[in-house]
Every structure is written in C-alpha cells, then in structure tokens.
Structure 1
Amino acid sequence: MMDLDGLDYLATSLASIAVVPVHVYQGEKLVSAHIPVRLPADPLALCEQDALALASPVGYLSVGDSLYVGVVCAGDTRLVVGPIPEAPLPAAQVTQMAAQLGVSPADLPQFQEGICSLTPLPLLTTVQVLCAVAFAATGEKVELDRVLVHDDAQRTIGSNLVNEEFHAAEFPEEKSLGNSSLKVEQVLCDLVRQGRPDELRAYFSALPSFRAGVLSPNLLRNAKDTFVTSVTVVSRAAIAGGMNADEAFSLSDSYINRCELASDTQQVSELGYHMAVEYAERVGHLRLGEDPSQLVLGVTNYVRSHIFEPIRTEDVAQALFVSRGFLSSRFKRETGMGLADYIRREKVAEAKSLLRNTEQSILDISTYLGFCSQSHFNAVFKRETGMTPREWRLQE
C-alpha cells in the first residue's frame, strides 16, 4: 500500500497532467487539494460528502449535468478527482454552481473562467486512468466492468432475462400471476410526461401493492436493477414531455449512481419516489398548458437555460427564429400569460431557491439573476409574492 506522500505525489501529477482538481483525504479529513486553475471557491464542496461515501476501490459519481467526480480508495485514504466536465458546461450551470458555493458576483468571471479551463474528459477515459492510479497505489487490479454501473446493471438484467425465459419455457407454471406493474408504469410515465408532480405524489401515497419483475435473487441487487429500469423509462417519458435529452440522461446517471450507494431496499424505494417526482417537477417547469406546442417548449427551455442572464423577448425570438411580435402573441394565446410575465415568474422561482438554500446576499442574488438593480429585483419579487426578498427569507 502506497503511503500518504506517494498518494499526494500521484494527485499532484494527475492534476497537472489532466488539468482537473484532485483532492487527497485521510478518512474524512482533507489532506491536500491540487486545483490547477484559479477558482475563488472549490466546486467539490457541492458534493464532498457523497464522494467520500464511495467505498469501492474505484468509483464515480454524477454530480450534475455532464459533470462527475471519480474516487480511488486506498485503505482509509481517498483520491477524489473532479468535478470533471464531460463537455463544456452551459453558462447557466456554471453560474448556478457559483451561486450555490457563495461566490460573489465580483468573483463570478474568475470562477467561470476557471471552470471553463478544466479539461473535459469522457467518463470512460477517467475511469481507465483511475484504475491505473488504483493499481499504482494499492497493487490491486480493478476491471472496468466493476466500475461502470451501466454495464454491470445491464449485464445483470440481461442474464436474468435469459434465465427467466429458459425457466418459463422448460418449467411452465400452471397459473401465472402476471405482472400488474405495467399499469403502474403507464400511469407514472403519463404523469411525468405531463409534468404533474402533485398528482404523482398523490398516486404514490395511494399506490396499491403490485408484482414487480425479479431481476436477481438478492433483494438489494434486485431493487437496484429494477431502479435502473425505472429511471430509464421515466427519463424517456420526461423527454417526451419536452425535457432536454442531455439534461434527462445526465439526471438519470446521477440517480443511478446514488442508487448504487444505497445500503438497503428502503433507501432504493425512497430514491425511486424522489426520482420520479423530480422528473415530473422539471417537466412541469417547462410545460405550460395541457399540450404545449414546440414553440412554447422552446421558450421554456430557453428561459431555463438562461435564467442567470438578462432575458429579453427579442433574445428568445431570435433563438427560436421567429419574430418578436409573432412569439409574444402566440405565447400569450397558448398559455394565457405574457412572455415577460413568465420570465419574471421563473426568475422569482429561482430567487426563492437561492434565498432558501444559500447565504448569498439579496444584492448578490439580484445581480446573479440579471436584474438591473436590487430595487428592481425587490419590486418584481414583491409583485409576484406579496413580500420583499428579505421578508420571504425570514419566514422560510
């Protein structure tokens, strides 16, 4: 087993060569941080505890859209690599990270520049490198298929399906119980596709027992494999409801990795509930009306992607290749809401999240969300909620 100095040397080399952050921990104590770019805040703080919870010799965790961390465990010492982007990150995602970390607006350009200077790496490439690092640190050879969740889960599912088909053909039961989970799946997918999280919660609370498929004789493994199948189906229902495909698949990866960390079937079950509701909520933010047109979905996706920027009607129209007048009238006719009103509503919703979940000042939040002044932000927020941002934060 390599000593701490040796692991720190590996971390330094990896950070310099790959241009990604590498942290060394002993237990839960941070020993050293090697960040090859200038950042006013360490982005690992957003997912540190989840990363340290990984216990396998080599593992990874999706921590956002196209963003992940990798971990090498060597005894009680860990190398945590990342966060690493798989592709250049959208400006809105980088800005949201900065806000969550408490980066001041004055330091935001430096944070954006630093994050954009990190090397985008495919997950497979990083896992291969981490397997080599693990071998150098511990002498243990780690095969890729022990690390990549998707391949392992797919192999388990495929193997069990083959065995089930053989058993059904050779030893048919006199009376089949059937699989009533199909109806549950149909209802769940409809509610996700239509973006109706409240109805989905109510449905889950009154959900009758049903027979799910058996993918493994081990109860926990079976629950996890069933979860993988469910998140795949739900993510595609969300895409059908208008959710951006890259966002849907990235969220799916994140939930699959969180599922692999679960230690009992109850945790897997609770994660499945939160997974379905989150997809429904995200689709609900995009869908205005029962059957929104592609134009309305285009507007809602644009606003979601540019929430941390000033958004003008002409910007949205230009992005969707339509005239400003046509966009405004069509949006109003379909949704019953003016486009400017919708933008303000979404800005206030994001402001509530920042007020609730961060310690950012009200001035900084107004700056992050593209308001021309704090007084303008206060006026818009009060018009939407009946309270000033300060009053709203105090009553939460």
Structure 2
Amino acid sequence: MNMDYIAFCKNYYAATRIPIDLLKGNTPVYTTIGSMLSMPSYRTHEIDTSGLNLPCLNNYNPDIEYGMIEVKGTDLLIILGPNFGIHPTNELINEYMRELFIPPQERESIAEFLNTIPQISTVQFVRHLILIHQCINQETVDLSHFFGEGFSEETEKSTGEILRPEYEKEDEKHSTYVYELDLYERVRKGNVEDLKRHLNQVPLNLNANTLATTSLRQAKNLFIKTITNVVMIGAIPGGVSVDLAYALLDSYVQEAEKLSSVREIEMLCYNMLLEFCQLAGKNKIPKGLSADVFNAMNYIRSHTDSPISVEDVAKAIGRSPSFITKRFRKELGITPGAFISRCKLEEAKSLLLFSKKNLAEISSHLCYSSQAYFQNVFKKKYGMTPLQYRNTKRRIE
C-alpha cells in the first residue's frame, strides 16, 4: 500500500491530540514532540519487538501506556502515546522525562505539551490502536487481541469509561450524575442481559474528580467508589442481602488492590457489575420458575425497545405461543402480553427519571403505537401521567 506515513502521523495527531511517532528500525523518522516543540528525539534505548504480538500495548511502567503497530512489509514502526489516563501530575511528568532521557531544561515545554493530551481509558486507547492498524495494514483486530479472550466486544463499552477520570465542566456534571444513577438502577433491576447491552451502547462517564496521582491508583480508587455505590444504591435495594453484599464488596476491593494494571481493574469492574446485577435478579425470579419462562422473561426485559409480541418471544426460546402463554399463566399468573407491558412501563419509569427524553421520544423508543396511548397506559397503571411522575418522583433537579 502506497501511503505517506509521515503525513498520516501528522494528520492523526492534529485530529486526536494523541502523540504518535514513526520509527524506521530504531531511528525516529517523525515524532510529535519534535514536530510540535522543535525538539530532538532523546529516546536512546532500543525498542525490541521480537516476541510481541503486534499491534500491542507496551507499558514501560504501570502509569505510562504506549501502543505499538508495525507497518507490514516495511521496517517501520508506529508508536502511539503516551497515555496517562489521568491529568499528568508532576510525578508522571518527571517519570516520562526520565524514560525518554529528556534533560531538565526542557521540563516546562514538556509539561505544557503533556497537558494537551486527552485523558482516555485504556480501552479507548486500544480502540485508537485498532483504528490505526486497520488504516495502515488493512487488517482488523478486536479487543480480545489485546486483553485476552475474557475481554470481548461486549465488554468494551463503559468498563473503561467507568474508570476514566473526567475533568468536567460544571454543566456536564448533571448528566454524569444521571448516568451513574441509571447504572445503579439497572443493577437493582437485576436484568443481566439489559445491563450488558447498556454497557455496550451507552458511554458512561461516572463523576470522577482527581482521586490519585497515578492512573493505577486512580483506577483503584474509582473502582472502590463505584462498587460502594453499586452496593448501596443498586444491589441492596435490589434484594441482595446486606451480609452478602458487603462480603463481596470487601472481596472485590481486596482483589482490586492486588492488580497491577488499569485494564485488569476495568475487567474486574465489568465482572463486578454483572455479578451484583445477577444476584439482584435472582431475588426477582419466583422459586420453581421453569427454564422456559425464565428465558422468556429475560428476552422480554432485554427487548423493551422493540415491538415484540408473544410470537416473537416464543420463537426466541424455541417454543410455541400457546405453550408460552400456558406456562406464564401457570407460573406467574399473568399472560406474556401483560408481562411485556409491565416491562415496558418499568423502562418508561427509568427513562423519565434518568434521561432527558421527552414523552414522544420515550413513546417511540418503547414502540408504543402513539404518545397518547402510552400516556393512557401509564396513567392507568400508576395513577398519574408520565409528566406528573417525572415531576414528583425525579431524584435530580
């Protein structure tokens, strides 16, 4: 492929503000610092790529991440980074300068440059590596290439975002808080498939002020903050016993403290959310429920934004509509249609509380035939209109 790689690096940095270097062997061909600061490359140690499964992450220390991408068919190597994950502290700036053998007299310029780098999670950083690799080498890789089989596409959204430090403007904090409460509410409801889909689709930015001076310590502190809120606001109100919830909290915190990388903590956070959600869900399933009805209920809960019918549910679990209807009546005392309506109304309540969607948007999202019909069904169920519910029950101004 005939490409001007130096031009690519320049354009990439201009678009993202993430530093990117191009090496031929171990000789810099282009460096962002050199281009932006008219500074020579002080990197003198050799980069050994033998045995590495490129593209890959490369951490010279736990708090400074780099990405490496080979340009296939050439002896060129692209280095992406550094990525700190948090606002660069004096300690991180000093460590970065030591790593690249940058003399002290350059510190002011380096500090100013590093402060322009966006703070993104490890998962987001890997997404940039995946994009560059695809552009340069015409090949696609997924997250499991970097994190192992335990970290799939389904885990990508929000694990990193949950732990990402966010230095927000005042007018963004309200939305961030709404996202937090929405996450805890989904844990409380106990629908694991819905939570997975939510983590896949919605980039959550939990409110995270500066809690540490390194990205690893920051991630651990944010994990502790998150799991504490999950237990107090989501799991226990969702029916998980207090003793079990706090025992798991202690266990997870101890495990997090033993981890040595941000991405391990991100994976732990994802698994923690699903476990508490699953435990809350168990308390909502009547004893003696058959596998068919259980699977049907999960399917319905996960498709409130679709115009599903009893036929759709039956097809999804490999049963007939009449069979499902009989089992629902026998085991739950209601029809599948009534359960579909109940789940849609519960989702409507969450959207009224935790989103800025208007009634028309909520009605459309939940696939009601009209806004008027949605309002009538809601009022019949809860004794108040959707707007009355939002105005009287909403937890946030």
- Normalised to the residue count of structure 1, the TM-score between the two structures is 0.41
Structure of greater Rg? 2
Greater RCO between the two (CA within 8 Å, min separation 6)? Answer: 1
- Normalised to the residue count of structure 2, the TM-score between the two structures is 0.41
